[in-house]
């Protein structure tokens, strides 16, 4: 049901958040989005259909106590998407963990002050479920990442601690609002803003020859527009509860490269050497020590394993269906060309 009260979206300029804002506006909602700089710095948000009438951007610092009070005041629903997504940071504690955890608590404290908040939809990640594939296990919402640390996959560690902090807040404070978490896997697709998100960057790197060969690794893909839709469905569905693993189909690197090749992108520097199999995996694990720390750790903890997961809960309870990964991947590549993150095919040598 459409409400006249604004929906608050934190980190509104982010890859997922911008699509949430867009879809909310299309559906007739009023939106109050938080941004890190002056609103004039986000023309791609201010130019969305309906933005001039129903979008208010509020400058807020994720780590300042009370910074979100004004943004959340008067809102029934809060989408908390703001959190750093970086790999190979200098200081994982200050660059990843502190902003993710303290920012989550800051937002929830502001929700506590605003008597009208009914539900917070929290953008978590598959990273809070696991940081490595297990070929003989199917992951669900019941699983928690217990392996990550400041030294091992620190981004995954930050997402795990942030979501745990959110659920712990609910248990300790017993607020009048409830919490629903959305846990997406590799979020890809078109960007509404000029920044390149990390998941799309992996596809770009494969196209640009960053990887020496075809590795034995797979990912679960989900279109950014479906992730945005999942957030809104979690808000609108009264019976929504707990966590929702949000991902469509899984695809390994070999299949991904075959798709890119057959879709007209063969003139990019796609890897051709097959490094899957036991020998290739051992070689790639050895080479991973030449990579930046976090990239190397991720490769070593996922190579030679098959990631399996069950997305039945989100389809059953929220009624969502996922766009085919093939379509999202092709659309993501074309979008990266338009934004200048990839050279046009005619300029590829």
Q: For residue 151, how many C-alpha atoms fall within 13 Å in the half-sphere facing its CB?
A: 0
H or E element at residue 223: strand 218-223
Residues 335 and 319: their CA atoms lie apart, in Å, by 28
Q: Please tell me which residue in 90, 113, 137, 159 is annotated as part of the active site.
A: 159
Sheet-wide strand order for 242-246: 55-59, 31-35, 7-10, 77-80, 119-123, 178-184, 242-246
Closest by CA position to 163, among listed 116, 111, 107: 107
Coil, strand or helix: which one is 33?
A: strand
Q: Is residue 279 a contact partner of residue 213, using CB atoms and an 8 Å limit? A: no
State yes or no: is 159 an active-site residue: yes
Distance set, CA 16 to CA 11, 22, 160, 227 (Å) = 9, 10, 19, 7
Query: Which residues carry out catalysis?
Result: 159
């Amino acid at each position: 049901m459409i409400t006249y009260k604004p929906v608050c979206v934190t980190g509104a300029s982010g890859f997922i958040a911008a699509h949430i804002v867009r879809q909310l506006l299309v559906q007739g909602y009023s939106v109050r989005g938080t941004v890190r700089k002056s609103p004039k710095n986000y023309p791609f948000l201010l130019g969305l259909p309906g933005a001039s009438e129903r979008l208010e951007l509020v400058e807020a610092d994720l780590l300042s106590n009370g910074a979100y009070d004004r943004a959340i005041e008067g809102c029934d629903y809060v989408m908390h998407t703001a959190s750093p997504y970086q790999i190979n940071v200098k200081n994982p504690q200050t660059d990843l963990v502190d902003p993710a955890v303290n920012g989550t608590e800051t937002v929830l404290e502001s929700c506590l002050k605003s008597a009208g908040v009914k539900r917070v939809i929290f953008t978590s990640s598959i990273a809070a479920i696991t940081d490595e594939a297990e070929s003989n296990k199917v992951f669900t919402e019941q699983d928690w990442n217990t392996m990550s640390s400041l030294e091992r996959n620190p981004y995954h560690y930050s997402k795990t601690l942030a979501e745990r902090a959110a659920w712990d807040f609910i248990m300790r404070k017993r607020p009048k609002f409830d919490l629903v978490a959305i846990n997406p896997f590799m979020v890809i697709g078109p960007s509404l803003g000029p920044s390149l998100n990390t998941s799309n960057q992996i596809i770009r790197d494969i196209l640009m020859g960053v990887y020496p060969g075809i590795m034995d690794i797979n990912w679960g893909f989900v279109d950014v527009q479906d992730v945005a839709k999942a957030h809104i469905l979690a808000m609108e569905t009264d019976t929504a509860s707990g966590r929702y693993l949000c991902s469509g189909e899984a695809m390994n690197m070999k299949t991904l490269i075959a798709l890119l090749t057959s879709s007209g992108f063969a003139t990019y520097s796609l890897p051709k050497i097959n490094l899957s199999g036991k020998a290739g995996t051992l070689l790639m694990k050895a080479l991973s020590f030449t990579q930046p720390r976090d990239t190397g750790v991720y490769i070593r903890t996922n190579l030679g394993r098959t990631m399996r997961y069950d997305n039945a809960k989100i389809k059953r309870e929220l009624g969502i269906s996922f766009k085919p990964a093939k379509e999202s991947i092709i659309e993501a590549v074309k979008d990266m060309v338009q934004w200048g993150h990839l050279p046009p095919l005619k300029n590829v040598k």
